Amino acid sequence: MTAVEAVRTRVRRRRPFLWTGTGVLAVLIVLGLVGPFLVADPLAVDPVHALQSPSGAHWFGTDYYGRDVFARAVHAIRLDLMLGVSVALLALVIGSAVGVISGYLGGRVDDVLMRVTDVLMAFPGFVLAMILLLAIGESTPKLALALAVAAVPPFVRLVRAEALAQRELEYVDGAKVSGAGWLRIAFGHVLPNSLRPAAVQFTLVCGYSILNVAGLAYLGIGIHAPTPEWGVMVAEGAQNMLTGQWWTAFFPGLLIALTVMGLHFVGDDLGGDR
C-alpha cells in the first residue's frame, strides 16, 4: 500500500455519519426491546395528573388523559421500527423480484413492467398508500402492504439497471451452458449480484416508511388511538401545542426525527455520499 493510499484509507475510516447513525439506532433498538419492561403502563389513564410538564417522575410529562408520554413513546419504538423495516423489506423483495425479471428477460416483458412502474411512480407515494389502504380496509399488515407497494418502484429500477449490466457477463453464459433455466439464472445468479444498490436504498426506505406510517396515523388512517404510536401521539398532542403544553407532541415527533435521521445517516454513508 502506498503512502497516498494509506492516507485515503484513514480518511475513509473516519465516517462520522455512519457511526452517529448506527449509534442512534442502537440506542433506540435497545430502548425498544428493554424499555417496555421498565416504564409505566402506556395506557394507564390518570386524570388527576393530566398535562404535567416534564419532571423527574414523568420525563416527557403527561398528556391530556394523564398518561405518561415517555412510557408511550418508548412503547411505540417497537411498532414504528418494525413497521418501517417490514415495509422496506417487503418493497425490497417485491421490487427486486420484478426488477431482476425485467432486467434479465428484457424485451416485451421489460417494456410492460417498466410502464407499470412508471404508472406507480406517477403518484406521490403517500397519496398512493393512502387510497390503497382506504380501499382494502385498515389493519396493521395491510398498512405495511400499502406502503410497500408505494415504495416498490425505486427498488425495481435499481435492480433492473444492475441486472441489465450483469446479464452480459461471462458467468451468465457459464450458467446457461451448464443447463440452468432462466428462473434459476435470474434469481440464483443475477439477483444476488444486482442487489447492492437496492440494499443501500433499504435504510432510506425504512426512514420514509416510518414518516409515512406516522403521517397516515396523524391523519387517522392505519394506526389509531389509543395505540402508542408516534404519529398518533403527535396528533393527540397537536391541540396542546396551541395552548402551551408543547411536550405532548414534541417528544414523539422528536423520536420520529431521530429515528429517521439515524437511518438516513447510515443510508447516505453506505450510498457513498461522504
Interface ranges with other proteins (CB under 8 A): 17, 115-116, 118-120, 122-128, 130-132, 134-137, 207, 211, 214-215, 218-221, 231, 234-235, 238, 241-244, 246, 249-250, 253-254, 256-261, 264-265, 268, 273
Q: Which is nearer to other proteins, 8 or 176 (CB)?
A: 8
Q: Which is nearer to other proteins, 192 or 220 (CB)?
A: 220
By CB atoms closer than 10 A (0-12, 13-18, 19+), residue 34 is exposed
Q: Determine the residue type at 167.
A: R
Q: Which is nearer to other proteins, 74 or 221 (CB)?
A: 221
Closest approach of other proteins to the CB of residue 197, in Å: 15
Residues listed for the chain: 274
Q: Which is nearer to other proteins, 156 or 190 (CB)?
A: 156
Q: Which is nearer to other proteins, 179 or 272 (CB)?
A: 272
Task: Please tell me the distance from the alpha carbon of residue 77 to that of residue 54, in angstroms, as a whole number.
Answer: 20
Q: Which is nearer to other proteins, 122 or 177 (CB)?
A: 122
Q: Which is nearer to other proteins, 48 or 122 (CB)?
A: 122
The β-bridge partners of 68 are 62
Within 8 A by CB and 6+ apart from 80, the residues are: 210, 213, 214, 229, 230, 256, 259
Q: Which is nearer to other proteins, 141 or 174 (CB)?
A: 141
Task: Please tell me the distance from the alpha carbon of residue 161 to that of residue 110, in angstroms, as a whole number.
Answer: 11
The DSSP line for 62-120 is B-TT--BHHHHHHHHHHHHHHHHHHHHHHHHHHHHHHHHHHHHH-HHHHHHHHHHHHHH
Within 8 A by CB and 6+ apart from 231, the residues are: 213, 214, 215, 216, 217, 218, 223, 252, 256
Closest approach of other proteins to the CB of residue 189, in Å: 32
Closest approach of other proteins to the CB of residue 52, in Å: 18
Closest approach of other proteins to the CB of residue 215, in Å: 6
Q: Determine the residue type at 83.
A: L
Do residues 231 and 216 make contact, with C-beta atoms less than 8 angstroms apart? Answer: yes
Closest approach of other proteins to the CB of residue 170, in Å: 31
Closest approach of other proteins to the CB of residue 173, in Å: 30
Closest approach of other proteins to the CB of residue 249, in Å: 5
Among residues 4, 179, 157, 167, the alpha carbon closest in space to that of 91 is found at 157
Closest approach of other proteins to the CB of residue 116, in Å: 7
